Structure 1
Amino acid sequence: MTLDLTAPVEELAKALIDIPSVSGEEQEIAAQVESALREHAHLEVTRLGNSIVARTTLGRAERVVVAGHLDTVPIKGNVPGRWDDDGATLWGRGAVDMKAGVAVQLSLAAALTEPTRDVTWVFYDQEEVEETRNGLGRISRERPDLLEADFAVLGEPTGGVIEGGCNGTIRVDVVLPGKAAHSARSWKGVNAIHAAAPVLAALADYEAATVEVDGLSYREGLNAVGVRGGIAGNVVPDECAVTVNYRFAPDKTADEAIAHVSDVVARGGVGEHRIVVTDRAEGCRPGLDASLAQSFTAAVAATGVEPPRAKLGWTDVARFGALGIPAVNYGPGDPELAHADEERCPVSQIRDTRAGLEAWLTS
């Protein structure tokens, strides 16, 4: 199969869905994308592993990055893709996250030979797995020059609405010590799992904030997401760990978020404990005050969608933020259907997102 980048964008989206590309298995889709892009003389194409970068070099005053990932979560009977009875909705793994968005990018990369801004189109691998494997991260480490830009758009599913920045996220283990003993003589020990009670109470009583950052409202969340303790059914556990996830607004750093969790635990009356950080990712401010962001917002608004809102999860816009590049999320598909077995995307939304991005890149 050869990808036809001149096909209707929804047909291109289905063709992408029909190429299985679970994280770590993107060789075929990367080869297809690379081959299709190399047919267009106005693009300089670079391949890094299973990530593809295609750039215009027209000498424009501004350069923007438009990026999307090629991989999906595991398939569950939803490849190849299919249409519903009236052809108005495309179903299949990746229809939302995010092959419809990639189709928009590929369609425009081929069609826009003279955009008013130079464009760097990025198609990267392994977004759905651990951070160390992320293709966009690899590009930023190995070829940061390819990501130099004044503004970035990430095609994550947003329902066709601009979502600015993203929350940050940390995970910590609150580790509580105890003393092992035979459960028949439990008074000889100290039960570390029982010591977790005030940690859980503090989290249950916590009222998460909604924080306004640059005009957008980011809702936070602080939750226990796991409890580990005990080695056998007849042993008083000598250690318990409560795993806590904090999704924090981009007005604070990851270090400040870790300090906040430590303070919540301490104020909850928790006894002896230690905090072990197991994961951290900075958030990204929306950057909607940048001139390119304002022109992008105006172009998308002309398609009739609602005003920009906050991205409440973490996305790779944070990587652009770390590089000092203002970035937003903008793509077709309901994010609440991402990874669902019934993943599906309205055709009208795919077309409208393409129209909004095209209007901006040609204005």
Structure 2
Amino acid sequence: MLLTPALTGAMSLVGDLWDSWREAPEGEISFIQGETRAGKTTALDEFMLEKHAEHVKLYAGREGYEVSPLADNSALWALEIRTPSGWLRPIIKVQVPKKAKYKALFEAVLFTLMNLTKIPARMSTEKYLLQILVKQLHEQQTRVIIFDECHHISEFRNPDGAYDAGDVFKNIAKCGRTGVVCTGLPHMMEIADANPQVRESERDRFTVAPFPLDLAAGSDLRMFMTALNEQLPFDQPSCLADDDVIYRIALLRDGFAGRIARFVQQVTGYALSVGAPCIDMPTLKAFLRVKKGVADAENIFLMSRDEAADYPAAVQKALRMRALQAQKRRGRHAARQESRHQFGARE
């Protein structure tokens, strides 16, 4: 894993909550925000992989102790340790459901802590759920709970959704003395805006930002691209560390490490499929043309440096145009539906 500044910063935030567990009477809440494929989930996964490896070594050879392998699906990861007296789960990850109501969030945590597939009716009251949750967090020595996709809370059409979800996070931190990490798109911060108790419990927040467009020797962007270039599975040298390529890929993928890495992965697969000896400029041009359907006039690898500089603005303009066309199309459809309704109405 290439440790970029954004990745390191996000991992440090989780590590801070891990290290400060039970130093105070209450846990705290921290936020990791960023755009899609900025690298938020990658940072969480890398932290959990590190802790899993540490605990495998820690419990190796100890009779009655076993560290379970992480699940195939990283969205369901939990560090689980079987002991003679029960299970320890120092860190777990919870996917926030799209209809993120108070009870649904509580149940999502209990599903992981208790290996349940359904909450029994006798446990379904909010008071009982909280009692069970606090007991499990204490007995399983849960230091950190990560809630991923927290922007679902803000997107759910429930005026009280952000406040209620904030109550779940607050109760876990305050009553369970467990650190909470909320991760998602920037508008997830409406949770803190809606619930004053969440703001009072906040410890830190970190934004996973893109690389600055800096091509200087030793810059974070250049070091990242050079490292990617060195890891490619080709016998001949590729061009990902060339100035012109770094510049264009950074503009194409908005400078986000996660997006750049995903793009390189896709180009690599394409190059291997066509028998290319490496990733070079012709391969990059062909990838956008063949696999992404990009017209030559809009292909950033066919543009001059000056033309490429205007690429982000051109993309935003095209997106606005498509959004306007979609809005007009929906408006025409709605008008036709209304017309048919009126035509078929009887007095």
- Report the TM-score, using the length of structure 1 for normalisation: 0.24
- Report the TM-score, using the length of structure 2 for normalisation: 0.25
Q: Greater Rg, structure 1 or structure 2?
A: 2
